Structure 1
Amino acid sequence: MPEDRDRVAPEHARPIRRRAQHAVPGRAARFVATYGWRAYAVPLLALITLVALIGVIDNPAPSDAQAGASDATTSGTSSSEAASSAAPGTSEADGSPAASGADTASPPPPPTPTTAAPTPEYAQAGDDNLNVVPGTSPVIGSGGQLVTFDVEIEGGIGLDGTAFAAEVVRVLSDPRSWIATGQLQLQRVESGPADLHIALVSPEHVEGYCPGYQTNGYTSCRYGDRAVINLARWSVGVDDYNGFLAEYREYVINHEVGHYFGHAHVGCPGPGAKAPVMMQQTLDVGQCVINAWPYPNGPADDPNNPA
């Protein structure tokens, strides 16, 4: 019935409801009543913004320099891989740390004088093809028979033939070498027939150029008109020449070329004497001291028995 909705209840029946109607709401309640859902959204948005600002402060964006360093590291790795694939089989490596990955704050300690140098690497086998290294020389020596020679290098061994050829010419031009007596002249040629071939060959193929000599991939040899220098010995030398690799290279050139000129092996003449260049110093110098030259004291020396 409609009139029931307008009927007023007795005063004692709704004391609590009357007090609620006359209660004064607090500020928070008035704020909620006024703004509705925005009353909750605004504080929540402020809290999210504060958290985001704290994250930015703790993790600042990288600077231009840092970004550049990151790019350089990525490109350096790529360049290193390309160089490794194009480089010869030698990354010669080193245990040096890659520049892009080195810890500049804590670099590795420098080697001490007692630290052994890393053993140079060399190819065990090339492609078994000898190639004449381009280049010539003036006539070496002051008189006597002229002997022409060329310099060969096996392909695929990863060494610069030009540097090897230059060392051969330097050694044979030395006044302590075979030209000392004035009875021999030498000249390097690059085309046409040559009397002597001086070749740098990988250990795996030395025996093939000196069949039956039992080089075992270790020693050098001379066969016919070819003096064969073993790449392994050229690269690391031998124990008796430890620390004197340049001198060993001089010795092995003079020794094998000496065989071409008809000189045979000889022994040590006595304790403390210079080892004759035709002594097998690659194997042992005995009681002698190392010596790389046929005429270490001038042309008066006997190449088979230097003083």
Structure 2
Amino acid sequence: MGKRAAPAGRRGKQSRRRGRGRRGPVSRLALPALVLMTVALGGGAALAHFNGTATDDSAAPGPQATTATEAPTTDAPAPRPTTAKPTPTPKPKPKPTTAKPKPKPSPKKTTVPQSGAGTFTTAQASGDAVGTGGSLRRYRVQVEDGIELSAHGAAAEIQQILDHPRSWAAHGRGRFQLVSQNADFVIRIATPDTADALCLQQGLNTHGELNCETADGVVVNLKRWMLGSPTFAGEAVEYRHLIINHEVGHEIGIRQHMGCPGPGKLAPAMMQQIKGLNGCRSNAFPYAEDGSYITGPIVS
């Protein structure tokens, strides 16, 4: 007997099952091609499932590797940013300064009174005779009252002047002794007005500036004793030597004045140097350092 035909419904199911079975191998062969195509197209993760079956996790593509290189880490702290210190500008070296010399204090101005009492105080002093030969001449020293000058001090200074090695006494022109009484002559120091009055008694006009020699001795103008002379190249203390040597020169017999012996030469002590040097060099002593007598032409 011939086979019975299957019911229509069952045939339809079998046909469908067989149809799937025939397509199955084709689909399994086409899968690798499909995967390769997907990877080629950049869709490596496109197939997450196939026909409802999960794929193996190992087949799923991993995350893409990054090409950036990470900086190695270290436990050391990051260095602090340093701020460059500005290079100091070198200060210019101070120029050496020369200490300026302190100005010398101005000498105290000496005030000389124009006139005085007209009376005198005698120095109460005495000394040994000085000199190497000749007549002994005793002298006393008087200072006008009311002026700031010690009679005793003035007497001591005059004694030193007469005992100087370039003076008269050192060269045999007389011996001199300071006494307070019984004097052969007197040396008076007086204000300009008083000096003028004493000199005028001998007929000498001293104009308040000059010294003179009188019948009883020597008159010294206080102005010249304290201030010196504007024509004399030296201190007042040196000019005092010239005053005493000049006036005592008259006392020992040298009555005339002398002039300048020549330009650049020392002026004689018997020259009136306050009236001008006429080319000579000012000088306070009768004798030079070599012991020679300083002389010049007679003028009066």
- Equivalence for 2:124: 134
Structure ranking higher in helix proportion = 1
Return the TM-score normalized by structure 2. 0.61
Q: Distance in 1 between matches of 2:231 and 2:173?
A: 32
Distance of aligned partners of 1:272 and 1:116 in 2 relative to their CA distance in 1, 3 Å threshold: farther
Deviations 1:108-161 (A, max 9, x none): xx9724x75343112211110122111001011122211111111111112111
Distance of aligned partners of 1:290 and 1:239 in 2 relative to their CA distance in 1, 3 Å threshold: same
| Matched-pair contact (CA < 8 Å) for 1:180–1:299 | no
Q: Distance in 2 between matches of 1:270 and 1:164?
A: 34
Secondary structure, in 3 states, of the residue corresponding to 1:240?
Answer: coil
Q: For 1:201, which of 190, 196, 211 is the aligned residue?
A: 190
Distance of aligned partners of 1:111 and 1:260 in 2 relative to their CA distance in 1, 3 Å threshold: farther
Distance of aligned partners of 1:183 and 1:252 in 2 relative to their CA distance in 1, 3 Å threshold: closer
Q: For 1:149, which of 129, 139, 151 is the aligned residue?
A: 139
Secondary structure, in 3 states, of the residue corresponding to 2:238?
Answer: helix
Distance of aligned partners of 1:295 and 1:221 in 2 relative to their CA distance in 1, 3 Å threshold: same
- Equivalence for 2:72: none
Return the TM-score normalized by structure 1. 0.59
- Equivalence for 1:262: 253
Instruction: Tell me how large the CA RMSD over aligned residues is.
Output: 2.1
Q: For 1:288, which of 280, 283, 291 is the aligned residue?
A: 280
How far does residue 293 in structure 1 lie from its aligned partner after superposition? Answer: 0.5
Secondary structure, in 3 states, of the residue corresponding to 1:197?
Answer: strand
Q: Distance in 2 between matches of 1:191 and 1:149?
A: 8
Question: Is 1:214 aligned to 2:205, yes or no?
Answer: yes
Distance of aligned partners of 1:111 and 1:262 in 2 relative to their CA distance in 1, 3 Å threshold: farther
- Equivalence for 1:231: 222
| Mapping 1:266-281, distance limit 5 Å | 266-281=258-273
How far does residue 198 in structure 1 lie from its aligned partner after superposition? Answer: 0.8
How far does residue 183 in structure 1 lie from its aligned partner after superposition? Answer: 4.2
| Matched-pair contact (CA < 8 Å) for 1:224–1:260 | no
The runs of 5 or more residues in structure 1 that have no matched partner are 1-109
- Equivalence for 2:237: 246
Secondary structure, in 3 states, of the residue corresponding to 1:241?
Answer: coil
| Mapping 1:1-307, distance limit 5 Å | 112-113=103-104, 117-192=107-182, 194-211=183-200, 212-241=203-232, 243-263=234-254, 264-302=256-294
Q: Distance in 1 between matches of 2:196 and 2:151?
A: 21
Letter in 1 for 2:194: H
The runs of 5 or more residues in structure 2 that have no matched partner are 1-100
